[in-house]
Amino acid sequence: MNPQDASALVECRNLSFGYGERRILDNVSFTIPRGKVTALMGASGGGKTTTLRLIGGQVRPQGGQLLFDGTDVGALDREGLFAVRRRMGMLFQFGALFTDMSVFDNVAFPLREHTDLPEPLVRDIVLMKLQAVGLRGARDLMPSEISGGMNRRVALARAIALDPDLVMYDEPFSGLDPISLGTAARLIRQLNDTLGITSLVVSHEIPETFHMADQVIVIANGRIAAQGTPDDVRASTDPLVVQFVNALSDGPVQFHYPGPGVAEDFGGGLR
Amino acid sequence: MRWWHPADVGQATRSLMDQWGYGARLLTRMVLLFGPTMRRFGLVRDQIHFLGNYSLAIITVSGLFVGFVLGLQGYYTLQRYGSSEALGLLVALSLVRELGPVITALLYAGRAGASLTAEIGLMKTGEQMAAMEMMAVDPISRVLAPRFWAGVIVMPLLAAVFSAVGVLGGYVVGVLLIGVDAGAFWSQMQGGVDVFKDVGNGVVKSFVFGVAVTFVALLQGYEAQPTPEGVSSATTRTVVISSLSVLGLDFILTVMMFSI
């Protein structure tokens, strides 16, 4: 086994994964450098969320290795996996807040589960995290009483409650209005720099993501189509990357789902 | 599906064994988590409140009406043989040995079991279970086990409330409306109901029903497809499977208790 790159917090080596016959990732290798914001981009169904699930150990690689700070995540037992996950924070696409708990209790949840801190200290930490996402005043509200953007920010406060080394964001901008979207993008960058964490963002929002990220990885058809700084990716001549970056409806990723030919289908012969 | 084909029968059997094995492992884990769950009794207390207190209305109203009907039907039968003063005994034995545990379990399956399945299923749909896993918190220990033990604790208590209210219903109809002697009603009951053989058996039954119904509800919720249709069909399965389990287990337990 090659020694791990010390500057990388996460290293994927020849990673392969699929569901049944369908290959999602095929021999993919990349690293996520410490202290940087890395964006994972690509068309829907391209394997971005699966990559997050692999890093978090929710699914195991079918080939290759996934190292988190030198530990092979795919080879860990349940206890080992839980120990690694305590060093990760994850922001789910729609927040995944506990709907029966207030905003305060949601953020306090990981602290109460994993530490024996006295309640006054838990309160101070929760308020600090909520202050960081601008929602200290909303601590007593229930998740049903806050907007989608606020929901995502509470989930972010919860994800950083235990001061993780890595925070993974699964499409943090989807469904947000422009103000909330800009706020979320600024927050991710700001928290990354102030807390000294490493961020991995799965996103489709090209302008915000390119503006915020240090490194961009574009995954398409189970392989890496482009990797580098946002400028490197913009300059890529790979047809898939060109289609993705310029939001073209047709290209290597086809607009029409595969089916019988138009002449054949409209002739009345097939159903 | 070609049911007669050996390969298909084999696959269906393996799939069934897989489901049963998974269910047995989940039940064993929740039973083994008794100690850790009780150490965080606050979680169990909240669920006792949710499953028990919120079921009290349906349990007491049903118990009262069942008691009314038992009073009427019991009197109708007993007066033919000139033993209407044994009405209190008949009402109490019917409720404590049989109707209390069984009807309470059926009502609990519809009221609390369905709600448990929907709650767990919707937590799955909203990725709350996955979020918990990613926070290195075991959902079985944090979410399922407290609900399971709360259900097991709550069921005998609800059955006791049902039986007590049912006896009062029988008293209202038998003594206050029909005119059966109050002293005979209570003394026959006092003399004829055995604490261990009758009340004890009823408690054992409701404890077993508590395990069965709560486990089925939690399993269905935890295994539900994370879609609206998935949660809906899981809720339906909870009511059907747990109701049939209660009736089947009741027969088995009654047979065992008769032989003691």
Q: Where are the domains of chain B?
A: 1-32, 41-259
Q: Express each pLDDT in A242-253 by its tens digit.
A: 887 777 777 776
d(CA A169, CA A89): 9
> For residues A46 and A17, is the Cβ–Cβ distance under 8 A?
no
Asked whether residue A56 is assigned to any structural domain, the reply reads: yes
Instruction: Out of B127, B136, B142, name the one closest to residue A92 (CB).
Output: B127
A157 and A175 belong to one structural domain: no
A171 and A81 belong to one structural domain: yes
A72 and A177 belong to one structural domain: yes
A143 and A174 belong to one structural domain: no
Q: Rounded to a whole number, what is the distance in Å from the CA of B194 to chain A's nearest CA?
A: 44
Mutate to test the interface with B, among A84, A86, A113 (most CBs of B within 10 A): A113
Range of the domain at A16: 1-87+166-230
Q: Rounded to a whole number, what is the distance in Å from the CA of A71 to chain B's nearest CA?
A: 16
A59 and A1 belong to one structural domain: yes
Residues in chain B within 8 Å Cβ distance of A92? 127, 130-131
d(CA A227, CA A78): 32
**pLDDT-wise least confident of B160-164, B191-195, B201-205:** B191-195
A184 and A53 belong to one structural domain: yes
Asked whether residue A105 is assigned to any structural domain, the reply reads: yes
A78 and A182 belong to one structural domain: yes
Q: Express each pLDDT in A145-172 by its tens digit.
A: 998 888 888 998 999 888 899 999 988 8
Q: Rounded to a whole number, what is the distance in Å from the CA of B131 to chain A's nearest CA?
A: 6
Domain endpoint, select from A144, A163, A182: A163
CATH number reported for the structural domain that contains residue A172 in this entry = 3.40.50.300
Residue A117 near chain B (CB below 8 Å): no
A76 and A35 belong to one structural domain: yes
d(CA B131, CA A114): 15
A6 and A80 belong to one structural domain: yes
Higher pLDDT residue, A182 or A247?
Answer: A182
Q: Per the CB < 8 Å rule, is B131 touching A92?
A: yes
Instruction: Out of A58, A99, A114, name the one closest to residue B136 (CB).
Output: A114
A23 and A79 belong to one structural domain: yes
Q: Per the CB < 8 Å rule, is A92 touching B137?
A: no
A152 and A36 belong to one structural domain: no
Q: How many domains does chain A have?
A: 2
Secondary structure (3-state) at A207? helix
Q: Rounded to a whole number, what is the distance in Å from the CA of B24 to chain A's nearest CA?
A: 20
Mean pLDDT of the A10-26 span: 85
Asked whether residue A262 is assigned to any structural domain, the reply reads: no
A145 and A32 belong to one structural domain: no
Asked whether residue A254 is assigned to any structural domain, the reply reads: no
Mutate to test the interface with A, among B54, B133, B135, B141 (most CBs of A within 10 A): B135
Hey, what are B184's tokens?
């005979």
- pTM as predicted: 0.85
Contacts for A101-105 with beta carbons within 8 Å, 24 or more apart? Answer: A101/A142, A101/A143, A102/A139, A102/A140, A102/A141, A102/A142, A103/A130, A103/A135, A103/A138, A103/A139, A103/A140, A103/A141, A103/A142, A103/A143, A103/A146, A103/A154, A104/A130, A104/A139, A104/A140
d(CA A117, CA B208): 39
Q: Per the CB < 8 Å rule, is A96 touching B142?
A: no
Q: Rounded to a whole number, what is the distance in Å from the CA of B197 to chain A's nearest CA?
A: 43
Asked whether residue A258 is assigned to any structural domain, the reply reads: no
Higher pLDDT residue, A125 or A261?
Answer: A125
Instruction: Out of B126, B136, B137, name the one closest to residue A96 (CB).
Output: B126
Higher pLDDT residue, A267 or A185?
Answer: A185
Asked whether residue A107 is assigned to any structural domain, the reply reads: yes
Residues in chain A within 8 Å Cβ distance of B130? 58, 92, 96
pLDDT of residue B25: 95
Q: Per the CB < 8 Å rule, is A109 touching B133?
A: no
Domain endpoint, select from A163, A180, A205: A163
> For residues A99 and B126, is the Cβ–Cβ distance under 8 A?
yes
Instruction: Quickly state the pLDDT bin for B103 (edges 50, 70, 90).
Output: very high
Residues in chain B within 8 Å Cβ distance of A116? none
- Looking at mean pLDDT, say which of A9-13, A90-94, B60-64, B188-192 comes out highest: B60-64
Asked whether residue A264 is assigned to any structural domain, the reply reads: no
Asked whether residue A129 is assigned to any structural domain, the reply reads: yes
Does the ipTM exceed 0.95?
Answer: no
